[in-house]
Amino acid sequence: MKLAKTIGWMGLLAMTLALAQGFIKGDFFADGGEIISNPWGIVSLVDLYVGFALFSCWIAFREKKLFVTILWIAAMMILGFFAGSAYVVLNLYTSKGDWLNFFLGSQKKILLKKIYN
């Protein structure tokens, strides 16, 4: 779990630095227009949002409260893998070293009960 925490923190740091650079040096609308006008830019955006959607499925699966799920998925769609990295880091710590708890979240008890009953 130590390696996963390290990777999660590295992802969070990388996304923080990348977002900061983008907001400081870039023009969101002008640069976004260039991405949209490039066929490979569109491919990259589709790839990115498919990843966001798949990661959001995991969030929806493991979260217990609908409101929390909606907030995390909205954060994913707006902030990308900055939010994804924060979600991973937070849940690595709250799972207290239990990989099943990390991956399954609120579903762990339900699924284990189905297996052992």
Q: Note the pLDDT of residue 20.
A: 94
Q: Note the pLDDT of residue 116.
A: 83
pLDDT tens digits, 72-94: 999 999 999 999 999 999 999 99
Give residue limits of the domains in the chain: 2-116
Of the CA atoms within 13 Å of residue 93, those in its CB half-sphere come to 8
Q: What is the pTM of this model?
A: 0.87
pLDDT tens digits, 19-77: 999 999 998 888 888 999 999 999 999 999 999 999 999 999 999 999 999 999 999 99
Q: Note the pLDDT of residue 103.
A: 95
d(CA 37, CA 14): 26
Amino acid at 1: M
CB 31 within 8 A of CB 41: no
